[in-house]
Homo-oligomer: A and B are copies of this chain.
Amino acid sequence: MSVALDDLARRLPGLRLLAGAGDLEHYGRDWTRRWTPAPLAVALPATVEEVQGIVCWANEHGVAIVPSGGRTGLSGGAVAANGELVLSLERMNRVLGFDAADRTLTVQPGMPLEAVHAAARGHGLVYPVDFAARGSCSIGGNIATNAGGIRVIRYGNTREWIAGLKVVAGNGELLDLNRGLVKNSSGYDFRQLMIGSEGTLGIVVEATLKLTDPPPPAQTMLLALPDMDAVLAVFGLFRAKLALQAFEFFTDIALKHVLAHGAQRAIEGEYPYYVVTEFDVPDEAAQEAALAVFGEAMEQGRVLDGVIAQSEAQAAALWRLREGITESLAPHKPYKNDVSVRIGAVPAFLHAMQALLAREYPHIEVVWFGHIGDGNLHINVLKPAGMADADFIAQCEHVTKLLAATLKEHGGSISAEHGIGLVKRPYLDSTRSAAEIALMRGVRQVFDPNGILNPGKLFEAD
């Protein structure tokens, strides 16, 4: 152990510290597999005081900290490859309180999203942010990237659901931000600044989440469509007539992978595009409206086939076709883009993007899918068998540079919901101006004057 680590163990005798090779590898990486984990050690604090103690220690010794949740991130935000101390919040994973009048749930940051869902349901309410990694991602990580997911068209991003945050700032101060207030106009809202800051300003040690009523009974539908214009048109049609909770599309190539990975085919025949959509069916009238709009889309030739789930099990099977995609692609070491534009800019951007991908990846398989209703597309580029990792990444980075320029033209963002981390750092200037990036650096300096929190993420370390 280093001198610094000895000192940490002496200061916080109860702190759980790991330094075995297996632990360093496990805690040093996230779902990106590009960097070789090489942390100094792993700290697993159990209390706010321990987190604060670690941050003070890190400031004194000049040791960098990588805050760590479920490490399901796709941008390298939780990678520790340079001798950092990994600060894992996984032991701080309890519900701290529920307030029926406020309809808020106060939790520790290491709680998996799925456990937050279960705790909310236990009070007859829901925490509505949801996505496929729910079982392993942590609520603290969701906050750090302002996670979105599959129900943004109904419920918005994580940001909308945060009533208060306790944060240990990079300077060691414990901040109690907004404290669950609905109305609070008392200066800068640092709660909002923390959301999406990827662990570079402070470490979330407690979150007060807003809950809401469960939605009415829902119906899940799988649609087969001829082309991307049909996907957009059918989204417009469905949005106008139904109360949508989700509207997710994917391509035939995505379907091929998820079927190969064990999912069940739900529609016979081959079609270029598919949509999984979920909408409210509070009563028979809504049920009839859904059938009518489905019929209308079929008549227009914009939907070629479709399945309506008749049971929860069938709905889950349809959802698996969409939610299983990321996992089914993992063995191919995909290079991921996660881009967004304004909803109104989707058609023009999609055409430009499709042309770009077809031109630049002529012999490489590209899988894309996304949340068409909020302007967010996920592009997964699969490494061809036999291609060297470095060559593959070099080519993808070249294309991402072009994609970033296309996004800039269409007013989009290089990261919709994955964050910037390490992966998208070279392209941040396509989305944020030089003046904004300079201000970000300045703000980071205010909260973390010694630059000990997640240095090198978002932008190069100073």
Contact = CB atoms under 8 A, between A and B. Distances in A.
Contacts of A102: 342-344
Interface of A: 99-102, 145-146, 148, 152, 157, 159-160, 169, 171, 173-177, 179-190, 192-193, 195-198, 201, 340-344, 346, 371, 374-376, 411-420, 424, 428, 431-433, 435-437, 439-440, 442-443, 445-447, 458-459
Contacts of A152: 182-183
A169 B436 CA distance: 10
Given A188-B196, A189-B196, A439 B446 contact: yes
How many copies the complex holds: the figure is: 2
8 contacts: A101-B346, A181-B416, A182-B375, A186-B420, A186-B428, A187-B196, A188-B196, A445-B446
Given A181-B416, A189-B196, 13 more contacts: A101-B344, A159-B189, A169-B435, A175-B439, A181-B340, A181-B375, A181-B412, A182-B375, A184-B413, A185-B413, A185-B419, A185-B420, A442-B446
Contacts of A148: 183, 185
Contacts of A418: 185
Nearest to A375: B182
A51 to B, nearest CB: 15
* Candidate in A169, A187, A416, A459 with the most chain B CB atoms within 10 angstroms: A187
Given A169-B435, A192-B189, A184 B101 contact: no
A344 B181 CA distance: 10
Contacts of A196: 185, 187-189
A440 B188 contact: yes
What DSSP secondary structure best describes chain A's contact surface?
loop
A44 B202 CA distance: 41
Contact of A186 (B193, B195, B414): B414
A420 B183 contact: no
A157 B183 contact: yes
Contact of A185 (B100, B146, B175): B146
The 6 lowest CB-CB distance pairs between A and B, nearest first, are A192-B192, A442-B446, A101-B344, A173-B435, A183-B416, A182-B374
A112 B101 CA distance: 35
Contact of A439 (B169, B176, B195, B433): B169
A439 B420 CA distance: 24
Nearest to A172: B435
A437 B446 CA distance: 12
A190 B416 contact: no
Nearest to A145: B185
A185 B432 CA distance: 11
B341 A181 contact: yes
A190 B188 CA distance: 10
A182 B417 contact: no
A341 B458 CA distance: 36
A355 to B, nearest CB: 21
Given A175-B433, A176-B433, A433-B175, A185 B446 contact: no
A417 B183 CA distance: 6
A376 B435 CA distance: 37
